[in-house]
A and B are shown apart, each in its own frame.
Chain A
């Protein structure tokens, strides 16, 4: 899958991120395991490549909403920074609605350099995973 999303500010809008099939499968599996709640996590990048998928805890109460656990996020972020890696992509699931960013997804897209991946699992046989770059213009 290609997601139109640069992972660094020096990149052009035309840059594309190639998501390895194994990572795609892990995101879909995470989405299914967490349903009906939304799953969330991130993908670490290094030198333009996606190197590690890191599932994280959805700390938001209820369904149809996510917030990556703040303390967990900070620990992971600090660790990645120490290793010279970056947050290349942030993923979450929409168990029943469209694989497009919601108003909240756009409003709260505070990491414009990252690719936002949204996984739809409404059709169990045909999960849909799409990537978006969400920037404040």
Chain B
């Protein structure tokens, strides 16, 4: 045990002194800051060039409304008052122009206007068909938006909203209905999302249900799974590289003259586990501090932390021993890639089924996937983090199966590692690896 511990401490010390660790510690906060910063920068640096567009109004009545609404928008909503009291333009102005197809000299309107769009005189043009006002629709129903920059959606969205509001108003007016009354009658009724009420056993009083918080129901479970994934990925694939490097540089031979292959493997696994727990302690500490500062720390159930730590340990031992075994059987990084693919699929599996399980954590789909041992740590943690959590027997079964699977992975990994670490030449086939696992 002393030698295993010595290997673990050296691995840990090497890892935390490396640039990769410092990069790993800073990666998440830097990514978050970059993402927030770039979004803020993007919002502050909107393209405010005028958006000129043509309207082919076959109804003959909608263009004046479009022009009026655009003018109103340009006046009221395009500029905002900044912190220093000055007006700042935050959105582009929309400048409509009526296009009369009769003026094309017999040419096709959409072809003529398309040319103008290509020459960048216009952002695009809209054709409003004759029957757009009709409540019954018909052959010439609807509108069409033509542009060469379909990724820009603010203008067509505004057009669709504005024209439809006007068309609805016209239809109600034609039907003789009062607009104010229509608005009243069609008012949306909001729905409150609440938890469950209960009777306090001590006082016998009813405790009213609390309003559910989006942060608690979505951000906490998703954040837990994402953090667990980060912790596993930051510590386990590195094991493959270190073993491969030691094998290529013949360091493993020196080490094996002093320790057994099992001591070496367990030392490395323990070292990686310590690195990962150091990272998670740093992250959890910082995140808790941030949440406390934001006043939402109480929305994180305290029982989640021990579950997180437990599932992190299981994941590290499972994937760590798999990556160590792969590293030991390869003689160059190219060999390792063919083994990496199926393992990465297993690591990524929880993300493929993440959304359906978030939507319906009690479904049989969620149950069976969260009982599949390689995915259990992340998916069972996800289900535990979503109130009210899975039944106790599912948690117990998941924990038991995954613990057994973990022992199986460590055992098989050690058998492969023992032979692979001194093997030279081409990497063995999967069949040969199986033979190594069951060899004496």
A and B pair up: no
